Structure 1
Amino acid sequence: MNGQAYRKGREDGYPLGWNHGRWLGHCESIIARAAPVPVKRPIHVLYVTSGKGYPYSPLDNGIYETLKTVAERVTLALPVQDVAKIAAKSRPDVMLVLDGMNMPFDKVQAVRSLGIRTAIWFTDDPYYSDVTAEIALRYHSVFTLERSCLPFYSGLGCPRVHYLPLGVFPGDFRPRNPLISKRGDVSFVGTAYWNRVKLFHQLIPLLAHRRLHISGMWWDRLPEYDRWKALIDLGRWMDPGQTSERYNASRIVINAHRAHNDDTFNQNKARIPAVSPNPRTFEISACATLQMTDLREDIAQFYIPGQEIITYDSPQDLVDKTEYYLEHEEERQAVALRGLYRTLRDHTYISRLNQLLDLTMNG
């Protein structure tokens, strides 16, 4: 009996292990070809973190770790520290602040008075534009991840405003080999904003026969939450490693962008529209899984729809494409691998920070 069980386990496990190994081999080959080689430029960057803790701390870490590969010297500071004193002592070429909501204006002005260039990178545009409007005016250069905010900041009087979406830190988001027990067909990770509740209220009954997993805050907003709660990991904030593992464990990952006019934690009285991809766009594709995203105007600037990423325009369209790619594995993998290549080539923090430093130092 033990011998039979062993042979049965080997017969079942060998092809599965071979396929997983072959897949990771394809991914590693793409990583070797596409990942940019960082070159350190002879500048000193003072990086001031968001100071907000989780979930911003992974962004801070990814940017800080990448800065150390593209700048000869990097000094790290928190908004609560005496940043002006740190700047006066270390004399950086530029101070980069992430988010800026916890950075006092007097500290920014004190650094600028030293003749040091300052740059702010906004992480949540346009959802906090009521707050960021005042912050932006304090900096030499303004970087926003939302293209629609360019005329907004320029109209306020900011002389140097640039469109720069967040990227991905491959140290966190990369191809992995998750446990068999965690693997499934379709997943979504994110907060249940109302447009997402509406989408998944229609979507879940059509995909419930698949191995579907949803994770995030507020999903008890669903009208039929009790019916579907077994599919939902409610109220959980996953760290980047856990999120990456979930993406890798899914054959398809859905990306549904937040609506610009959702009143949940929204300070966007100007009703600036959101047309640019969210950070999740790059993180999903960096994990070499097939991404299906709603079509924002700027998506085509970053990925070729239908080749490197799949877009949908309705719940039924999403269901139809999901069923198609779950039944056509070679095509699913081909799109996922092309998405991985494009992400590593163009959308890591190495690429983003090189752009930011060029524009700040030469502007």
Structure 2
Amino acid sequence: MAIKRRRRSRKRQPVREHRERRGVSRGKTDGYKLGWQHGHWYGQCESVLQHAFAGQVFPVRQAHVLFVATGKGYPYSPLDEAIANALRAQVTQLTITDAQQPVADVARRIRPDIVIVLDGLQFNVGQVDAMRADGIRTAIWFTDDPYYTDITSGIAPHYDVVFTLELLCVDFYRQLGCPNVHYLPLGADPLEFRPRNPLRSQRHDICFIGSAYWKRVEFFNQVTKYLASKDTHISGIWWERLRDFGLMKGKIDLGRWMGPTETANMYNGAKIVINMHRAPDEDTFNNNTTGIGAVSPNPRTFEIAACAALQLTDVRSDLVSFYTPGYDIVTYSSPQEMIEKMEYYLAHEEERKQIAMRGMYRTMREHTYGKRIEALLGILFPG
């Protein structure tokens, strides 16, 4: 019996080796195909980027700006940096500080043409009043409207000029007595959010990055089984709230806060990136007791599009001011519609890529922080 078993083992060995060689060969073939396809796509994106940036020269204002960054650290620090870089390229003199510093003393010493405060939720308005009393103009750019309007309503009237990323908040601040209020959404930083060559481990069919607010959970509960059947990746906090968390556990990077580069890599590696806006009546970390609605796209809208990823986003009514649904972005209004569109675009690769490419082109032409700062400075320094 022992001799017979050894003979069978000898017979199986060549079969096993043949299968292993065939598996390695198939792996090389598949890997080469995937690498070639992504390389070709990456090259196309770079070509389109050159066209997007062609002739894009921002005017330089003869102005001294004192920029007050949030100083909050991550996740605000990339926003601080992106806006500082855009300002640096468009004014003749830029001084940077943050909300934790004696800004009024700095402004009194250097006498800037304008002080621009980002967010401002942790900046003492007494310093704003002191600067205005010294004849120094001030402006604030709110970054989280309408979710903190209970707080910003007490801040906005202290400034000469108010910028908000939410269209419905323009009238809200005007009704508070602010005479100079402007709608200015955030955008994308093309130094971070752009076509990239992600690792194989960062490539998936479907991707969502964000926190599991309760209203998001209610929606995702209805698509969990579908997402569990696909190559899906979710990253963020609180996703254990899902009703069927066990089905998705292996596809969720729980509790992760990713920096902009890693986030951009995940967007680049996905065939479809889901965007779901935070509900204005969400109970979690919400200071919007007046019930102001939300119609404007979130910053993630521009960041996903900048990565040339097919973006599947929920509907916000002012989205059409920035993108054209079905042309350079795709929308959904129900769990069933989300599933149907994911199925369709996973099966129609060329159509998916063309929409993603158009979204990237439009973003780089119209929705970068360079463009936002150009608009901001045009308002502050007309003519």
Same fold judged by TM-score > 0.5?
A: yes
Using the TM superposition, give the Cα deviation of residue 261 of structure 1 relative to its aligned residue in structure 2, in angstroms: 0.6
Tell me the distance in 1 between the aligned counterparts of 2:360 and 2:300.
13
Q: How many residues align?
A: 363
Using the TM superposition, give the Cα deviation of residue 278 of structure 1 relative to its aligned residue in structure 2, in angstroms: 0.5
1:28 counterpart residue number: 46
Matched, 1:131 2:151: yes
Q: Given residue 24 of structure 1, which amino acid in structure 2 is its aligned partner? A: Y
For residue 207 of structure 2, give the secondary structure of its aligned residue in structure 1. Answer: strand
Matched, 1:196 2:216: yes
Matched, 1:120 2:143: no
RMSD over aligned Cα, in angstroms? Answer: 1.7
Q: Given residue 148 of structure 1, which amino acid in structure 2 is its aligned partner? A: L
TM-score, normalised via structure 2 length: 0.91
For residue 298 of structure 1, give the secondary structure of its aligned residue in structure 2. Answer: helix
Tell me the distance in 2 between the aligned counterparts of 1:177 and 1:108.
45
Tell me the distance in 1 between the aligned counterparts of 2:62 and 2:51.
26
Using the TM superposition, give the Cα deviation of residue 357 of structure 1 relative to its aligned residue in structure 2, in angstroms: 1.1
TM-score, normalised via structure 1 length: 0.96
2:34 counterpart residue number: 16
Comparing 29-38 with 143-152, greater Cα deviation is found at: 29-38
Matched, 1:217 2:241: no
Tell me the distance in 1 between the aligned counterparts of 2:311 and 2:57.
26
1:95 counterpart residue number: 115
Aligned pair partner of 2:341 in 286, 297, 321: 321
Aligned pair partner of 2:59 in 36, 39, 47: 39
- Conserved? CA contact 1:42–1:72, under 8 Å: yes
Tell me the distance in 2 between the aligned counterparts of 1:13 and 1:267.
49
- Conserved? CA contact 2:224–2:244, under 8 Å: no
Matched, 1:230 2:250: yes
Q: Given residue 16 of structure 1, which amino acid in structure 2 is its aligned partner? A: L
1:344 counterpart residue number: 364
* Aligned pairs for 1:1-363 within 5 A: 10-35=28-53, 36-362=56-382
Structure 1 residues 145 and 181: alpha-carbon distance in aligned structure 2, compared to 1, 3 A threshold? same
Q: Given residue 323 of structure 1, which amino acid in structure 2 is its aligned partner? A: E
Structure 1 residues 44 and 307: alpha-carbon distance in aligned structure 2, compared to 1, 3 A threshold? same
Q: Given residue 42 of structure 2, which amino acid in structure 1 is its aligned partner? A: L
Tell me the distance in 2 between the aligned counterparts of 1:7 and 1:197.
43
Tell me the distance in 2 between the aligned counterparts of 1:216 and 1:11.
34
Which structure would you say has the larger Rg? Answer: 2
- Conserved? CA contact 1:117–1:360, under 8 Å: no
Q: Which runs of 5+ in 2 are unaligned?
A: 1-16
For residue 322 of structure 1, give the secondary structure of its aligned residue in structure 2. Answer: helix
Tell me the distance in 2 between the aligned counterparts of 1:131 and 1:40.
34
* CA offset digits 1:64-94 (Å, max 9, x no partner): 1111111121100111212122112222111
* CA offset digits 1:186-240 (Å, max 9, x no partner): 0110011112101111112123221011111111111121332111111111111
Q: Given residue 142 of structure 2, which amino acid in structure 1 is its aligned partner? A: F
For residue 35 of structure 2, give the secondary structure of its aligned residue in structure 1. Answer: helix
Structure showing greater relative contact order (alpha-carbon pairs closer than 8 Å, 6 or more residues apart): 1
Structure 1 residues 5 and 273: alpha-carbon distance in aligned structure 2, compared to 1, 3 A threshold? closer
